[in-house]
Amino acid sequence: MPSSLILLGMKAYQFLIFFFTLSVFSAEEIIQHKYYTLNYNEDHEVANWVSYELDHSKLQNCVKRSNSFRIDPSVSTGSATANDYKGSGFDRGHLVPAGDMKFTSQAMKDTFFFSNMTPQPGPFNQGRWGQLENLMRSWALKYKKIWIVTGPILMPNLPVTGKDNQVSIPDEYFKIILRQQGSSFEGIAFLMHTDVPYKELASYVTTIDHIENLSGFDFFQFLSDDIEDTVEKKADLTSWDFNAKFAYLPCQASADL
């Protein structure tokens, strides 16, 4: 059974290790970009997941959106391409949002690799999913630091699009968030279908255990068994502020954090 080791937190003196075990995918490649990690699935031509740290200091309005969509040269088997999305009717939907990476030009540009894209319906990408991404930024401000894992639910026989590759079109996406409070941890997960009704974001909350069962991944094995079990089996909405507000901080970042 293949496995993947993900390093979250790019500071040399401090990082968290997330260990995922693949049980359902036959093709995987770990790609470490400067500010996020992804696991590319060649069979589906999209990422199984992306993971990154989002902290207070990164939420700075330093650079504009680049729109520099391009092939990811780090994917040894070749990533999806612009032709795979051209005329498809789908948005090139980010997994790591460009809006989370406005603190340097490199951070922004690296979100536009096609390895970080999936085909998403416009109303989903620009609607409820985008609102969920903004809530994550609000939480990063409020709680100072969160760790985010995002991905599609990839199943056999998904519809595909693409002129150069057969890119799977997922119809469900997950987002898992972890934060540390002293020696304890809080976790929460969201599961959202691309054909979502207009509901409060809290209505899409589920347990991390549920996402693990759907995705085939085992998250957060760096935690002790008792803490991991507690964090992953509950979905305590009262531990998270769904009314948190967000505004970018003034730019103070250096050219390259």
CATH of the domain at 161: 3.40.570.10
pLDDT at 182: 84
pLDDT at 125: 96
User: Distance of CA 123 to CAs 2, 13, 126, 129, 214, Å?
Assistant: 36, 41, 5, 9, 24
In a domain, residue 250? The reply is no
β pairing state of 16-21 and 3-8: antiparallel
Count how many domains the chain has: 1
In a domain, residue 92? The reply is yes
In a domain, residue 130? The reply is yes
- Find the domain containing 100 and state its range: 3-239
User: Distance of CA 9 to CAs 32, 77, 116, Å?
Assistant: 12, 27, 18
Give the H or E element holding residue 39: strand 37-41
CA pair distance 174, 214, nearest whole angstrom? 10
In a domain, residue 91? The reply is yes
In a domain, residue 116? The reply is yes
Which SS3 state, helix, strand or coil, does residue 210 take?
helix
pLDDT at 51: 93
In a domain, residue 221? The reply is yes
User: Distance of CA 235 to CAs 7, 14, 202, 231, Å?
Assistant: 25, 28, 10, 8
pLDDT at 5: 35
In a domain, residue 248? The reply is no
In a domain, residue 26? The reply is yes
Q: What is the pLDDT along the chain (257 residues), one digit of tens a residue?
A: 233 334 343 332 233 434 444 444 445 889 999 999 999 999 999 999 999 999 999 999 999 998 999 999 999 999 999 999 999 999 999 999 999 999 999 999 999 999 999 999 999 999 999 999 999 999 999 999 999 999 999 999 999 999 999 999 999 999 999 998 888 889 999 999 999 777 899 999 999 999 988 998 887 766 656 666 667 778 889 999 999 999 999 998 665 55
List residues with catalytic annotation: 94
